[in-house]
Amino acid sequence: MSTHRTLSAALVPALLALTVPATTVPASAAPAQGTGTAWEIVEGLTTEIGPRPAGSEAEDRARDWGAAKLEALGFRNVRVEEFKTLAWTRGPESASLTAPYAQPLAITALGYSVPTPRGGLKAPLVYFPTLAALEAAPAGSLAGKVAFIDHAMRAAQDGSGYGPYGDVRRKGPSVAARKGAAAVVIRSAGTDGHRNPHTGVTMFADDVKPIPAGAVSNPDADLIARTAARGKPMAIDLTLLGKPNPGATSGNVVAEMPGRDPSLPIVVLACHLDSWDLGTGAVDDASGCAIITAAALAAQQGGQPLRTIRVLWSGNEEMGVRGGGGEHYARLHGQEPHAVAMESDFGADKVWQVKFSTAAADKPLVDKVKAALWPMGIVPHDGAAEGGADIEAIIKAQSLAVIDLGQDGTHYFDLHHTPDDTLDKVDPAALQQNVDAWAAVLKVIANEPGPIGKFTAAAE
Amino acid sequence: MSTHRTLSAALVPALLALTVPATTVPASAAPAQGTGTAWEIVEGLTTEIGPRPAGSEAEDRARDWGAAKLEALGFRNVRVEEFKTLAWTRGPESASLTAPYAQPLAITALGYSVPTPRGGLKAPLVYFPTLAALEAAPAGSLAGKVAFIDHAMRAAQDGSGYGPYGDVRRKGPSVAARKGAAAVVIRSAGTDGHRNPHTGVTMFADDVKPIPAGAVSNPDADLIARTAARGKPMAIDLTLLGKPNPGATSGNVVAEMPGRDPSLPIVVLACHLDSWDLGTGAVDDASGCAIITAAALAAQQGGQPLRTIRVLWSGNEEMGVRGGGGEHYARLHGQEPHAVAMESDFGADKVWQVKFSTAAADKPLVDKVKAALWPMGIVPHDGAAEGGADIEAIIKAQSLAVIDLGQDGTHYFDLHHTPDDTLDKVDPAALQQNVDAWAAVLKVIANEPGPIGKFTAAAE
């Protein structure tokens, strides 16, 4: 998998001494390296596949890569389960402020944006400091104009800013379209200060005609805000040629570590294999696949668990709001008995909290999980465990118990959906801490002999 | 200059309540603001002009902006001094690894690169871990191939990594051309981990035919290194369409705060007005112009100094190795008596050290300067003061005394020559510390009544 780590240091000078130009082993600038199964999965996916947009040929290659990797690691019943999906394909994209000052803007289109004219859309740019300010604009008042929506997302350890501030991306384009806007540009839903805009899916409501929609980086949004504050009319030249790609093929990779008692409901662990196209999907979500897979293996140490542990490397999570891997999984596997569902899809930083959505009768089991995590400094929180997009459908279908191992998200939205989502952002030690925490939980729940209860928020 | 700072906070809710879509004052996401002359210059240049590449129309607008600003601040003898220069103009640029794995690369061309074929250059990519490894390759051995040069630049407070590791950019392309390479790609001369490659000028030696030359970001260089380590042949598809632009117009802006005794040799303070095109030149070098200008004004507080202080906002520093603003200044002003030259061109972080290149007889003056900086925590260092590119020619022409106020460069090469060189990277408090340090030095040297000696490295 990672041959350069097996080359001895003694070999390096000999290779450097070669005077024939050749592909020699990197010596001077080798980045920090990890070891173990989880690292190998993140390193392999990001190096040998890279960006894996939903419905793309690269996502297909990633499924083959994943299936081969899971086979090699000793998983059983490894299979690829393809499905059709409404994907989206990026096109050329650029933008400039043209008035009152000419300035290039770092921009990227949002998923499900429709294209501008090929030569660009030239229009007045209207500044809205918040989504609420845009919502207050009269219907039709933005005809022929481009709306800019600002906001003030800040970093938070639990990532809670992404809910409300992420709505600028999710809902803002529909609101702008409803006001008659020709296009919409938002401040990226992100917490960094780099010229890397954050992409992500937007959802056009059924009652609006989709419009071109893009996000500028935070420094560019700052520039627009400063320019707006000067009070002179602004104008933009906007080219976003990405467009929806219906009928694309995505797919899940599913594999198992069989339990000693096949009659017991299984534990399903999910991540997603697809990534946004701008980065290599290292933290979103190769790390999740790495963590759950390495943990499923680590849980075998000390004896085969009672219950089967299934891993789901889901396809099309990112564009899956209209039919992704999680829904397809529930469609194919909704009749098979599940006990607990868990997902890892929040980067590669350390687990710091645990949350539960479990039947009241399972308090002894929950206490056992808490005790297993206690020596790792992982603190129980009262909020409901919600899983993630790739297990949402199966949780709903079977009223499943859910355990969330909450990762530190302070820096997650610096990287999320940007070109910066690359391997160098993964700390091998933090990645391994995730594996250890997941394995600790699995050793408890996959060895639970008694029934594990159903959970419905209303019932508990 | 910066109208939004003069709007009272009480106004903001009223503006937000407007339901007509209009250009309203930013409220939710206003970035950290500074005050004072230095901040206004950096904020103004980055907001109202933005990127100012040498020889461009934007650099011309920046000269007008600068002359108007200096007039408004009360400077005298404000003039623009234009000159012709060999500039360079960026074109479309992109690159992908095509073997053994398909991966897009974040790339940018180096200044004085010549263009690839319009449809891209498709060629084997050969990995060299160091510039020395490339130099060891036989002549002609890279015919039809693209050389990749890796290196291991690390951050340093005094920026000392930029000398040796920057040579990969300055000299590497010539070395590759001499080996017959069809093109060259380098790891950016930078210390960050973002997908923002660092541009910068390269110099082709007279004995080689220039080739296309680009830099990839550090994460992309890591990817190439990891891929090379797998030992399979690599290939690249490279499009870099930038090209030299001879006969372009650049120019300096020169202005003065006259001293009480016009017969005394003057103090000249330099910065450069041009910037690379990828960012808005906030730290390189709007901050330098801001610092010297605000300091020249601050030095007037408590009484007009004895000597005239002249500021030089130089044109074409970045591409000026073959004739920039510093040479033009020496050509026009080389006969006027100068006493001391200083330059600010290393970002906006705090001054932490001071260095001197002065005549031995001027030790009492040097001690006065040290004493003035002592309360600010600025420590004297023994190395020679060297000024900067914009005063190099006048220093040489007149054997001038030089004082270097060394800024903390730990993070400078995270931003240098990248899209990330934007206003949000400037800390207003650190910027003001620079102004205070410069003003403290000026109050000593511009009030020195006696002769200030010449300095030649050999003589001292």
Share of chain A above pLDDT 70, in %: 92
Task: Check: CB of residue B411 under 8 Å from CB of residue B352.
Answer: no
Chain B residues close to A26, C-beta within 8 Å: 127, 129, 150, 225-226, 228-229
3-state secondary structure of A340: strand
CA angle in degrees (0–180, nearest 5) for B381-B383-B385: 100
CB burial string A145-171: b at 16+ within 10 A, e below: bbbbbbbebeeeebbebbeebbebbbb
Q: Is residue A223 less than 8 Å (CB to CB) from chain B?
A: yes
pLDDT at position A32: 52
B205 touches A at CB < 8 Å: no
Confidence of residue A23 (pLDDT cuts 50, 70, 90): very low
Query: Quick one: pLDDT at residue B32?
Result: 52
Per DSSP, what are the bridge partners of residue B103? Answer: B97
Give me the residue from A23, A227, A232 closest to B234, CB to CB: A23
Task: Tell if the CB–CB gap between A219 and B422 is shorter than 8 Å.
Answer: yes
Whether the CB-CB separation of B193 and B218 falls below 8 Å is answered with yes
* Count of Cβ atoms closer than 10 Å to residue B294 Cβ: 25
Give contacts of B420 with chain A, Cβ < 8 Å.
193-195, 219
Cβ–Cβ contact A25 with B under 8 A: yes
| Axis crossing angle, helix B287-298 with helix B428-445, rounded to the nearest 10 | 50
Q: How confident is the model at residue A19 (pLDDT cuts 50, 70, 90)?
A: very low
Say yes or no for a CB contact (<8 Å) between B21 and A422. no
In the sheet that holds A103-105, the strands lie side by side as A103-105, A93-99, A234-240, A121-128, A146-149, A183-187, A213-216, A107-109
CB contact under 8 A, A424 and B193: yes
CA–CA separation, B297 and B284 (whole Å): 21
Mean pLDDT of A161-168: 95
By C-alpha distance, which of A256, A374, A261, A367 is closest to A309?
Answer: A256
Residues facing A146 on adjacent strands: A125, A183
DSSP letter (8 states) at residue A284: I
Say if B90 is an interface residue toward chain A (CB within 8 Å). Answer: no
**Residue spans in chain A of domains classed CATH 3.40.630.10:** 3-19+33-86+247-445
Mean pLDDT of A14-23: 34
Q: Find the helix or strand (DSSP H, E) in which B369 lies.
A: helix B363-373
pLDDT tier at A145, thresholds 50, 70, 90: very high
The kind and range of the H/E element at A292 are: helix A287-298
Helix A428-445, helix A363-373: angle, nearest 10: 150
Torsional sign, CA A321, A322, A324, A326: positive
Whole-number average pLDDT of chain A: 92
Q: pLDDT, tens digit, for every residue of A384-427?
A: 999 999 999 999 999 999 999 999 999 999 999 999 999 999 99
Q: Looking at the complex, does the CB of residue A108 fall below 8 Å from at least one CB of chain B?
A: no
- Bond prior to B345 in cis (omega within 30° of 0): no
Chain-chain contact of B150 with A101 (C-beta, under 8 angstroms): no
pLDDT for the residue numbered B460: 55
**What class has domain B93-243?**
alpha beta
**What's the CA angle centered on B445, arms B444 and B449, to 5 degrees?**
100
SS3 B126: strand
Chain B hits for A34, CB-CB cut-off 8 Å, are none
Q: How far is B301 from chain A (nearest CA, A)?
A: 31
Tell me what ipTM this predicted complex has.
Answer: 0.91
Q: Is A138 on the interface with B (CB under 8 A)?
A: yes
Cα–Cα distance, B404 to B401 (Å, whole number)? 10
- Are B102 and A58 in contact (CB < 8 Å)? yes
Greater confidence (B34 vs A273) lies with: A273
Q: Which fold has domain A91-241?
A: Glucose Oxidase; domain 1 (3.50.30)
Supply the CATH classification number for the domain A3-19+33-86+247-445. Answer: 3.40.630.10
User: Looking at the domain covering B33-84+247-445, what would its CATH class be?
Assistant: alpha beta
Predicted local confidence at residue B15, as pLDDT: 34
Q: Answer whether B16 sits within 8 Å of A48, measured CB to CB.
A: no
Which of A295-299, A372-376, B455-459 has the weakest average pLDDT?
B455-459
Nearest chain A Cα distance for residue B385, angstroms: 31
Residues lower than pLDDT 70 in chain B: 1-32, 458-460
Q: Show the CA angle centred on residue A143, arms to residues A139 and A147, nearest 5°.
A: 85
pLDDT at position B19 is 33
Per-residue pLDDT at A30 = 47
Cβ burial A351-383 (10 Å sphere, 16+ → b, else e): bbbbbbbbbeebeebbebbbebbeeeebeeeee
Interface test with chain A among B199, B422, B425, B427, by most A beta carbons within 10 Å: B422
Instruction: Name residues 237-266 of chain A within 8 A of B (Cβ).
Output: none
Q: Which residues of A touch B424 (CB under 8 A)?
A: 193, 218-219, 222
pLDDT of residue A320: 78
Helix (H, G, I), strand (E, B) or coil at B389: coil
Closest partner CB to B23 (pick from A25, A46, A231): A231
> Residue B34's pLDDT is what?
82
A42 touches A426 (CB < 8 A): yes
* Beta carbons within 8 Å of B136's beta carbon, 6+ residues apart: A19
Sequence-distant (6+) residues with CB within 8 A of B58 are: A102, B49, B50, B51, B52
> CATH 3.50.30.30 occupies which residues in chain A?
91-241
Contact of B284 with B343, CB cutoff 8 Å: no
* CB contact at 8 A, B355 and B406: yes
Closest CA of chain B from A48, distance in Å: 6
Question: What is the pLDDT at residue B245?
Answer: 95
> Are A138 and B19 within 8 A, CB to CB?
yes
What is the identity of the amino acid at B309? Answer: I
Cα within 13 Å of Cα(A174), Cβ side: 14
Residue B6 has a pLDDT of 32
Q: What is the pLDDT of residues A224-246, one digit of tens each?
A: 999 999 999 999 999 999 999 99
From B267's Cα to the closest Cα of chain A, the distance in A is 35
Looking at chain B, the domain(s) classified CATH 3.50.30.30 span 93-243
Chain B CB contacts of A102 under 8 Å are 50, 58
CB contact under 8 A, A219 and B102: no
Chain region(s) in chain B for CATH 3.40.630.10: 33-84+247-445
Are A145 and B229 within 8 A, CB to CB?
A: no
What is the predicted pLDDT for the residue at B272?
98
Quick one: tokens of B105? 């690369």
Cβ-based contacts under 8 A for chains A and B: 228
Of residues A104, A151, A420, nearest to B195 (C-beta): A420
